[in-house]
Chain A
Amino acid sequence: MLGNESVCKVSPVLVSTTNYRGRSAEEVANSCADKIVSISETAPDAVREQAKFFKSQIIMALTYYIKEAIRSDRTTLYNQLKAAGHSDAAELIRRF
């Protein structure tokens, strides 16, 4: 049966928080993967399993490159702090 009813809808958001730290590379990677891969609850089991495996691979790749980005940014921070005359702070950053 065809209908002509239109509805405006709003969906809930997910809120996550951290205490005394930022988010880890793994947490950010999971959020990113959720944006890239969504798995329909009505998809056939075989398709769902394949999608889950693909998503796990995406998370692994994202985690690796996010950590690389963090390391690279720390190198930049180290050099900027050192150039600004804050060698002690720069050394702390390098040791993280």
Chain B
Amino acid sequence: MAFTGDFMCTSFKQELMTATHDFTTSTGDSFKLALYTNSASFTAATTAYTATNEVTGTNYTATGAALTNVTPTTSGTTALTDFADLTFSNVTLTARGAIIYNDTKADRAVVVLDFTEDKTATAGDFVITFPTADASNAIIRIA
């Protein structure tokens, strides 16, 4: 039982083809990021948010925090989307990974994120920095 890498959920790929998700800024769906301990075992087969093995800690709220969408764009032949960096402020917690899920659409899972090691904040900030939003690095892209 552990995180084993970053995954784009298979169910999410299918849902792209049914126009389930809308990443548009402001008018799109609401996406959230939830943090988990290393007891979680998410893979590409993960389909939805779960409270099982979600972290608990000071100033962390179950279900995680809302993300700020960045309207999808293209670069060359690659389509990509991004989120604004996310800070869990003044928290005390340890997390090994996270999932991003669609809070508007029945908590459907989007991606699984593996931090590769336990990350701990003690009465401090826990900051998720998303990669550069380009064709080679964006958090979610279709090449």
Chain A residues close to B by CB (< 8 Å) = 6-23, 31, 34-35, 38
Contact = CB atoms under 8 A, between A and B. Distances in A.
A13 B97 CA distance: 10
Interface in B105-122: 111, 113-116, 119-122
Contacts of B65: none
Contacts of A22: 89-90, 124-125
Interface in B48-95: 85, 87, 89-90, 95
Interface string B112-142: 0111100111111111111110100111111
Contacts of A13: 98, 113, 115, 128-131, 139
A18 B121 contact: yes
Contacts, number: 89
Nearest to A14: B129
Given A10-B111, A22-B125, A15 B132 contact: no
Contact of B142 (A6, A11, A15): A6
Contacts of B127: 15-17, 23, 31
Contact of A38 (B130, B132, B142): B132
B121 A8 contact: no
26 contacts: A7-B143, A8-B13, A8-B16, A9-B8, A9-B142, A9-B143, A10-B8, A11-B6, A11-B137, A11-B138, A11-B141, A12-B114, A12-B116, A12-B131, A13-B128, A13-B130, A13-B139, A15-B95, A16-B129, A17-B119, A17-B125, A23-B87, A23-B125, A23-B127, A35-B132, A38-B134
